């Protein structure tokens, strides 16, 4: 997706602009977490850092390697998925017909 999408145009794809923004932002967070896990698996980085200087040097080296990776922006991917109708969402509210 290379074209700019106006906020008003997002209303075409959902009931409201606000709903579209919330859905896109939640999906972008999911994509971001997926990308983080992928980077960690490829570079062998954990969230835990030990106290030794040697491990800190390895950690810094891996951070530099991370910067060299060029992944698509999560928000851009999420918006593209939303516009293409690939994202399914609901509010998790059960309709109760009992009276």
pLDDT reported for residue 99:
46
Residue spans of the domains in the chain: they are 7-83
Q: What is the distance between the alpha carbons of residues 71 and 33, in angstroms, rounded to a whole number?
A: 12
pLDDT reported for residue 30:
96
Q: Is 71 exposed, middle or buried (0-12, 13-18, 19+ CB in 10 A)?
A: middle
Q: What is the mean pLDDT of each run of 10 residues along the chain (99 residues)?
A: 76 87 95 90 62 50 62 92 89 61
Q: Which of 16, 37, 40, 26 is nearest to 74 (CA)?
A: 26
pLDDT reported for residue 64:
62
pTM over 0.75: no
pLDDT reported for residue 69:
67
Q: What is the distance between the alpha carbons of residues 95 and 51, in angstroms, rounded to a whole number?
A: 54
DSSP state, 44?
T
Q: Which of 68, 64, 76 is nearest to 32 (CA)?
A: 76
Query: CA dihedral defined by 55, 60, 61, 67, rounded to 10 degrees?
Result: 150
Structure tokens at 53: 């200087």
pLDDT reported for residue 51:
46
pLDDT reported for residue 58:
53
């Amino acid at each position: 997706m290379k074209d700019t999408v106006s906020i008003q145009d997002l209303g075409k794809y959902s009931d409201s602009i606000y709903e579209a923004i919330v859905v896109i932002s939640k999906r972008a967070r999911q994509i971001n977490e997926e990308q983080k896990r992928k980077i960690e698996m490829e570079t062998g980085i954990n969230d835990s850092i030990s106290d030794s200087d040697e491990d800190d040097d390895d950690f810094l080296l891996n951070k530099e390697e991370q910067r060299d990776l060029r992944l698509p922006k999560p928000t851009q991917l999420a918006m593209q998925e939303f516009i293409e109708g690939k994202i399914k969402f609901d509010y998790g509210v059960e309709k109760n017909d009992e009276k």
